[in-house]
Amino acid sequence: MRRLLPLLLLMLMPALPALAQQPPPDASRFFPYALKTTQLPNGLTVVRVPFNSPGIVAYVTAVRVGSRNEVEPGRTGFAHFFEHMMFKGTKANPEGQRERILGGFGFDDNAFTTDDITVYQVYGPSAGLEKLIALEADRFQNLEYSEPAFQTEALAVLGEYHKNAAGPDLKLEESLVKTAFTRHTYQHTTLGFYEDIQAMPKAYAYSRAFFERWYTPSNTTLFIVGDFNDAQVLAQVTQAYGGWQRKPTSVIIPTEPEQTSPRSVHVDWPQPTQPRHVLAWHTPAARADTPDAAIQSILAEYLAGDTSPAYKELVLEKQYAESINVYTTPHRDPYLFPIDVTLQDEQHRAAVDAVLRREVTAVTGAPVDPVRLRAIQDHLRYGLLMDLETPRDVAIDLALYAGVMGRPDALASYLKQLGSVTPQQLTLFARKYFKDSNLTVLTLTPKAVAAGGTP
């Protein structure tokens, strides 16, 4: 790897004046930390956030690639699989060397993949930041791995699938998205279709093409949060990543047609477990310039949160359900609003379904309680802000919202929208999307129950 030039020389390099400096957006007043955003000439976005954490820094890399981007038949699961491969080393830093160096400084190192984004996180002492920048720039530009190493990791990913498949949640998600989506790539989970995972060891050449296609500077954003010298860090990042010139390749993500009639899917689970009941409606994508993501977060609490009539009746009073959850993770494209109920007993399924449909119908017709709405808004906003306790918390949340919505200030925009949603907006949203023709119902029953017994 090239040696880093002295800071003074870097500051005099002609490339630096061409950097696109962006002032903190107006929405940042809803977010307690200032964002300093720079886009390098090669398209890499670098976001720095000063945070009062003496001697500690978080370094998070967000790549806008997830299972959503897997459009080729037979090639699902590669975004998640490639997250594993990114730890295989380079010529300058063979496998294991990067981890030894980071461990010597005391850094924590991890990664995760979602439907829309892959996030790499490193957290530790500011004293090691210069070396960390060099190591990260090296692997994102110069990743190397052999075909045998690739095949070994493919078997590890298959083992991960088997481990997750031992519980009902993966089967639930697979069945729900395969039924709800007929064209869009959201019809498979982040792990991918099982037959595609089994075939991965034969896809070494494709994996190299995947890296070239998606791991590009214009598809990547760095979030550096904590205690650091901003000018020095920007100069180091510019030098380390400046030679990264890989160009992105665009693909067409299939558009999901409007659902025009209700759908249903049933899962017979072969082991004893509690029955599940899911109602899921198609809802719009999360965007920084619309309140749709905030509306869905609020409706999740309004319909199924701890203060909701459904929760009080089904969980606390009648005890028909063990839990009620709505998972409204923001998505780049239209996704689902799923109300997921874990039942205490199969005999309560019809009653639970009736209560959920009653509450959804109510929010489409009766006025939304403005006092309760304000309490939910405050709870969501302050809860999110209170969770930003460390530089890592801040960096990961910034990366998640930016990765989905495409703007570094997306988290601030989301916080702003959370506080400005009106009762009328909730009602109109519910009327538009919470229709029977737009609904997919999933039921899961243990085999013992399906046969007439009790697990």
Question: pLDDT per position in the chain (455 positions), as tens?
Answer: 222 222 222 222 333 333 344 444 444 567 889 999 999 999 999 999 999 999 999 999 999 999 999 999 999 999 999 999 999 999 999 999 999 999 999 999 999 999 999 999 999 999 999 999 999 999 999 999 999 999 999 999 999 999 999 999 999 999 999 999 999 999 999 999 999 999 999 999 999 999 999 999 999 999 999 999 999 999 999 999 999 999 888 899 999 999 999 999 999 999 999 999 999 999 999 999 999 999 999 999 999 999 999 999 999 999 999 999 998 899 999 999 999 999 999 999 999 999 999 999 999 998 899 999 999 999 999 999 999 999 999 999 999 999 999 999 999 999 999 999 999 999 999 999 999 999 999 999 998 644 444 44
Helices and strands (H, E) in the chain, number of each type: 17, 12
**What are the phi and psi torsion angles at 155 (to 5°)?**
-70, -35
State the pLDDT at residue 28: 54
State the pLDDT at residue 27: 41
State the pLDDT at residue 233: 98
Cα–Cα distance for residue pair 451/27, rounded to 1 Å: 56
State the pLDDT at residue 10: 28
The pair of structure tokens assigned to 94 is 């063979």
State the pLDDT at residue 29: 66
Cα–Cα distance for residue pair 155/161, rounded to 1 Å: 10
> Which CATH number is 263-450's, of 3.90.1150.10, 3.30.830.10, 3.40.50.300, 3.90.650.10?
3.30.830.10
* DSSP helix/strand/coil, 255: coil
State the pLDDT at residue 26: 43
State the pLDDT at residue 19: 38
Q: How many alpha carbons fall within 13 Å on the CB side of residue 32?
A: 13
Q: Boundaries of CATH 3.30.830.10 in the chain?
A: 7-241, 263-450
Topology of domain 7-241 in CATH is Cytochrome Bc1 Complex; Chain A, domain 1 (3.30.830)
Q: Which residues contact 198 (CB under 8 A, 6 or more apart)?
A: 158
Q: Which residues contact 329 (CB under 8 A, 6 or more apart)?
A: 114, 115, 335
> Is the CB of residue 434 less than 8 Å from the CB of residue 282?
no
